[in-house]
Structure 1
């Protein structure tokens, strides 16, 4: 996997380069600001952009703005945003750019190297990966919506795990139920959110986006 990275902390940036390289990935550029990130993606055409939310000079949301710009300019590029802070609005805005190939993780998750690498691969492969804490924040502030009220507690659990990018098998294991039961719950979620029959992967992502953003 070819990766371009934007992280202003030299220590974290170099650490991530070493980790990714050790596990067979190629970091084609590692920069510390948003303009250099945009230029590096245009030059190297990577599979994944790994982006810190806050970058120089303002250390506000320059990285997020760059990530959104990259999604619009390079629709097939996987973009994984890392943040030190729990901000559901950032994740909400990033999700609004596309229904696939995006991720938002807290930097604390980098310490779990296998999980971090798996998340990076999934985003590069076109999946949506959102930190569990962000999912909980997004879900909790939308529980008053009418369509949310139509979901049973179990369906809410299933949709929360779907939002984390879990497969049906993973959801079944987590909830100690059969995959058939998970499929039935997902079908009910689609119906209650008004998602018509079609491509199952697309409906899966749209169910999560509709639930988080309605």
Structure 2
């Protein structure tokens, strides 16, 4: 699986390259600034990109901006962004196209190698991988969202765990219920959000994007 890596810290960049390659990925480009990130993503069209939000030349949102612009050229290009801090505005921008295949993790999560690699694979497969702290920030003050009003507290809890990228079995273990009960909650969520069965749409991703989107 080919990866483009965008990270301006040489130490972290080298560490991520070793980590990804040890986990079976092929790093086809490794760049340290926003413009080069965009160029590399469009040229290589990798199976997944791992990109720092803040990069040169402006050290603000150059990495994220490059990823968003590249996704405009290469639709549904899978992108996992890393950030030192929780920045809800950046997360909303990443989610704004509603296409899925996105992730937002705090850099501290990289220390949990299994969790990080799982997130990279999940995004590459078209899913979402959102840091729990980012989710908490995104949901602040969002309890009145009309599209989510019909969800029960239990269904909201299930959807929040789905947003973290947890499987049905992991959600069941977390909530101390059966997988059958989780599947029933998820089906109810799909119905209430108007996400009907389709051969081309991933309803799980669409439900998460409805939950997190701006």
Partner in structure 1 of residue 115 of structure 2:
115
Contact 1:99 1:128 in 2 (8 A): no
Where 1:41 maps in the other structure, the secondary structure is helix
Offset of 1:154 from its aligned partner? 1.0
Question: 2:82 & 2:155 partners in 1: Cα distance?
Answer: 29
Asked if 1:212 is matched to 2:206, the reply is: no
1:20-35 equivalence runs, <5 A: 20-35=20-35
Question: 1:186 & 1:205 partners in 2: Cα distance?
Answer: 12
Partner in structure 2 of residue 130 of structure 1:
130
Contact 1:142 1:148 in 2 (8 A): no
Cα 1:201–1:20, aligned 2, differ >3 Å: closer, same or farther?
Answer: same
Partner in structure 2 of residue 81 of structure 1:
81
Cα 1:50–1:187, aligned 2, differ >3 Å: closer, same or farther?
Answer: same
Once the two structures are superposed, residues 70-124 of structure 1 have per-residue CA deviations (whole angstroms, 9 ceiling, x without a partner) of: 2121124211100111011211111122432111111110010111011111111
Question: 2:119 & 2:18 partners in 1: Cα distance?
Answer: 17
Offset of 1:194 from its aligned partner? 3.1
Contact 1:80 1:120 in 2 (8 A): yes
Cα 1:178–1:68, aligned 2, differ >3 Å: closer, same or farther?
Answer: same
Partner in structure 1 of residue 36 of structure 2:
36
Partner in structure 1 of residue 102 of structure 2:
102
The number of equivalent residue pairs is 214
Where 1:158 maps in the other structure, the secondary structure is helix
Question: 1:46 & 1:150 partners in 2: Cα distance?
Answer: 39
Partner in structure 1 of residue 57 of structure 2:
57
**Structure 1: gaps of 5 or more residues:** none
Cα 1:147–1:124, aligned 2, differ >3 Å: closer, same or farther?
Answer: closer
Question: 1:152 & 1:166 partners in 2: Cα distance?
Answer: 19
Partner in structure 1 of residue 70 of structure 2:
70
Where 1:104 maps in the other structure, the secondary structure is strand
- Please, what TM-score do these two structures have when normalized by structure 1? 0.92
- Please, what TM-score do these two structures have when normalized by structure 2? 0.92
Once the two structures are superposed, residues 120-174 of structure 1 have per-residue CA deviations (whole angstroms, 9 ceiling, x without a partner) of: 1111111111111111222232112244343222111101011112222221121
Offset of 1:211 from its aligned partner? 2.2
Asked if 1:144 is matched to 2:144, the reply is: yes
Question: 2:45 & 2:185 partners in 1: Cα distance?
Answer: 39
**Structure 2: gaps of 5 or more residues:** none
Cα 1:75–1:36, aligned 2, differ >3 Å: closer, same or farther?
Answer: same
